[in-house]
Amino acid sequence: MGNISKVKSKRKQDTKKLPVIVCRCEEVTEEDVRQAIQNGCHSLEEVKRTLRIGMGHCSGRGCLRIVARIIQETVGTPISAQRFPRSRPPLKPLPLGLLGAYKNEQQEC
């Protein structure tokens, strides 16, 4: 029994060293976000411009709330007071081939 608890506690120590991915699309870690905040980015928009969070395939659906929570913890700005970027079309990622196959019938040469 004692050996199992040692293995579990060792595993917890190992996972604490791993970077926590906040934005999977742009591969931004929690440490990256905290460093940007330390360097003077105190709003969601400033962090977005610096680290490109919310600019990947998901358009921020996965990461913006997480980053807003980190800003709330470190800067003190409540999530409700933070300005979230507007979602701009396309709302879903489109394959480039679909756009390339589009023919404009009003083409003039």
Question: What are the φ/ψ torsions at residue 55 (nearest 5 degrees)?
Answer: -110, 5
| Residue 21 CA to its chain's centroid (Å) | 8
Residue 18, strand partner residues: none
Q: How far apart are CA 94 and CA 106, in angstroms?
A: 23
For 40-63, how does the pLDDT look when each residue is reduced to its tens digit (9 = 90+)? 999 999 999 999 999 888 888 889
For 69-98, how does the pLDDT look when each residue is reduced to its tens digit (9 = 90+)? 999 999 999 999 999 987 666 567 778 888
Residue 65 has pLDDT above 80, yes or no: yes
- Residue 78: count other Cβ atoms within 10 Å of its Cβ: 10
Residue 12 has pLDDT above 80, yes or no: no
- Residue 50: count other Cβ atoms within 10 Å of its Cβ: 17
**CATH topology (fold) of 15-86:** Arc Repressor Mutant, subunit A (1.10.10)
pLDDT value of position 68: 96
